Amino acid sequence: MGKPYLLIAAGGTGGHMFPAQALAEAMLGKGWRVRLSTDPRGARYTGAFPKDVEIAEASSATFARGGLAAKVLAGPKIAAGVTGMAVQMLRDRPDVVVGFGGYPSIPALSAATALKIPRMIHEQNGVLGRVNQLFATRVAQVACGVWPTDLPDGAQGIHTGNPVRAAVLERAAAPYIPPGDYPMSVLVMGGSQGARVLSDVVPGAIAALPEYLRGFIRVAHQARDEDQARVAAFYAEHGILADVQPFFEDVPRRMSEAQLVISRSGASSVADISVIGRPSILIPFAAAAGDHQTANARGLVQAGGAIMIPENALDVAALTQQMTTVLTNPEAAQKMAHAALSTGAPDATDRLVALVEHLAQKETA
């Protein structure tokens, strides 16, 4: 008998791709063959995937973006993707299909549904994404990254937590160095969308910190391509040491070395922050569907591990005040780090692996 075969379908953003990567790494370790079905946007995140994962780009589209012509073309594009995927699955039948959300997961989940292949989805956020909402009652299990997650009637939900990549697990519960009169690291992460407001407000807030404090600050700031030059120039003009890049390959290392993280509350960011255990100031993305980033931040905030500033309340003065509070109070910062850690689910990947194996066993039973 050949190796059991897992098809992972995910796309679009790091929020979908990072947990997909975590599952891929674990299943390869269990002796499975793993294939990832994604789209060109998702393919940008595959550089860190293990080399043994086959990457396949599926034809898909969304009705949510673009003008009328794009919407009209979306239907045939998705249909072509589903047909192509069904033909592929008839030739090479997966034992299990797992969808992580994003419209590029539609072809694989649709084909698996039609061919009655065991399937499940993982939802990273406290509110189901559009595609996962569509499939929630058509899969054996909805693995939930945030609990409770709002599920439709008839959907079988189970709390797994959000899987984090091996590089994050290596830094799990890394000792925290509280703020003091020595170089301090501030990590600024905008996520894959909506990072502009952080690029607009954070540099000014850091420049407005009390002078004695500002002299100790080192910034790692993830900014959009189009914002990178102006953000870097601002920091330089104000004498602040800053590394400004559109994408950090080594977020886990930078996070473990940070005294404070300022971030959107995307699911994977919240999972990383809680597994590594760092104080954070979270600014939920106001335009996120169903306001799911506020739902994502809730657990960390209630535990005392994070401070949440709603986007409509975010300005230089508010952010400077909260940063000063954390960075001048080592004892409170240490407590925040411990509180963040208490909300983490470092075994989320193991829980997900167990669900995949259980589905495969049911199929062969």
Mean pLDDT of 133-152: 92
Q: How many domains does the chain have?
A: 2
- 229 and 277: one domain? yes
Shared-domain flag, residues 323 and 337: yes
**Residues 6 or more apart whose Cβ sits within 8 Å of residue 330:** 178, 179, 180
The answer to whether residue 193 scores a pLDDT higher than 60 is: no
Q: What is the mean pLDDT of residues 54-61?
A: 72
CB within 8 Å of 291: residues ≥ 6 apart? 127, 284
Give the residue numbers spanning the domain of 88. 5-163+347-364
Q: By 3-state DSSP, what share of the chain in percent is helix, strand and coil, each rounded to 5?
A: 50, 15, 35
Domain co-membership, 145 together with 25: yes
pLDDT in tens, 327-361: 999 999 999 999 999 999 999 999 999 999 999 99
Question: Do residues 211 and 96 share a domain?
Answer: no
pLDDT, one tens digit per residue, over 66-96 is: 554 444 446 667 788 888 899 999 999 999 9
Residues of the chain with pLDDT > 70: what percent?
92
Q: Examine the domain organization and report whether 133 and 189 are in the same domain.
A: no
Query: Based on the domain organization, do 138 and 177 belong to the same domain?
Result: no
CA distance 95 to 114: 14
Model confidence pTM above 0.75 = yes
Which of 272, 280, 327, 276 minimizes the C-alpha distance to 303? 280
Our CA dihedral for 340, 346, 352, 353, rounded to 10 degrees, sits at 170
d(CA 28, CA 30): 5
293 touches 265 (CB < 8 A): yes
